[in-house]
């Protein structure tokens, strides 16, 4: 365990992001069941939104609460070398758009393909646009 306050702050952000993810997933699932009603579809979309909220909240929390001179999320040995904020935003966006499209009556297959394309495109775009 490191004594670096930045690493300690990252651990705190990581722990709190789990709560954010669960609450976001529950909210997305509830909203989806209220509007769409298809439990299998809503479960997948809510899971994507919750996972995205976890990734995004870790990235956002690290940017706010960790000193600029401390270790970044991607510099942590177990974090992976990809843009956590881009993953988070892409998954939340794709999941939310999938729920909205299903609510509007678009077919499941079309929504699944479109949501996958939105997730991939948003990840690529936000990887370039968002700061590390």
Taking only the tens place, the pLDDT of each residue in 111-124 is 999 999 999 999 99
- The set of residues, in sequence order, having a beta carbon less than 8 Å from that of 111 and lying 6+ positions away, is 41, 98, 101, 102
pLDDT band per the 50, 70, 90 thresholds, residue 83: confident
Q: Please give the residue that has the higher pLDDT: either 74 or 64.
A: 64
Identify the pLDDT of residue 27: 97
Q: Contact 55/88 with Cβ under 8 angstroms?
A: yes
Q: Contact 44/91 with Cβ under 8 angstroms?
A: no
**Burial degree of 112 (CB within 10 A; 0-12, 13-18, 19+):** middle
pLDDT above 70 as % of the chain: 82
pLDDT in tens, 12-38: 888 888 999 999 999 999 999 999 999
pTM above 0.85, yes or no: no
Mean pLDDT of 43-56: 94
Question: CA angle at residue 44 from 35 to 36, to 5 degrees?
Answer: 15
User: What number of other Cβ atoms are within 10 A of residue 72's Cβ?
Assistant: 16
Residue span of the structural domain in which 92 resides: 5-129
pLDDT at residue 69 tops 80: no
Specify the number of domains making up the chain: 1
Tokens of 10: 């990252």
């Amino acid at each position: 365990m490191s004594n670096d306050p930045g690493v300690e702050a990252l651990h705190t952000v990581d722990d709190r992001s789990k709560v954010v993810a669960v609450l976001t997933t529950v909210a997305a699932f509830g909203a989806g069941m209220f509007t769409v009603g298809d439990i299998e579809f809503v479960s997948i979309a809510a899971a994507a939104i919750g996972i995205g909220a976890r990734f995004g909240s870790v990235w956002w929390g690290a940017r706010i609460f960790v000193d600029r001179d401390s270790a970044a999320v991607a510099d942590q040995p177990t974090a992976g070398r990809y843009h956590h904020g881009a993953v988070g935003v892409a998954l939340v966006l794709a999941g939310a758009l999938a729920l909205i499209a299903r609510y509007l009556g678009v077919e499941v297959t079309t929504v699944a393909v479109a949501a996958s394309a939105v997730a991939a495109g948003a990840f690529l775009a936000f990887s370039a646009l968002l700061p590390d």
